[in-house]
Amino acid sequence: MSSNNGHSNGHTERRKFQRIRLQVPLFIRGTDGRGLDFLELAKTLDISGMGARLVSPRSLRPDDIISLTIPAPLPASAELGESGTPPIQARVRRLESVGDTELAAVEFLKPLE
C-alpha cells in the first residue's frame, strides 16, 4: 500500500504557474566569478510566471542573481527607459549541460503578473 497521500514524485503539483514552451531572445546581465560585469544575449526555452529555463552562452553559477531584459522595440518612456522591457531580477536555481550547451533554470525574484 502506498502512503504518498495522492502526490506524485514530480514537480507538477508544486507549480502555481503553467510553464510555456517559448523561445524569446533576452539579455542576461550579471557579475562573473572574477567580479566583472557581463552582458550576454541568450534565449528562453520555456517560461512561466515564476521562472524560466535559459540557453546561455555564459557559464552561470547556482544562486547567482542575474538581470534579464527582453529587447523589444518599444517607445522610449520614463517608466521603461530607452527601450526593451524593465529588467527582471532572477536567481539561478539549477544548471545542466546538454552537449556544448549550458541550460540554466532561473526563478524570478518577483513573479510576473
pTM of the entire structure?
A: 0.74
d(CA 106, CA 89): 10
pLDDT digits 0-9 by tens, 3-58: 444 444 444 445 567 889 999 999 999 998 899 999 999 999 999 999 999 998 88
d(CA 25, CA 4): 40
Superfamily the domain 17-108 falls into:
predicted glycosyltransferase like domains (2.40.10.220)
Domain coordinates of the chain in residue numbers? 17-108
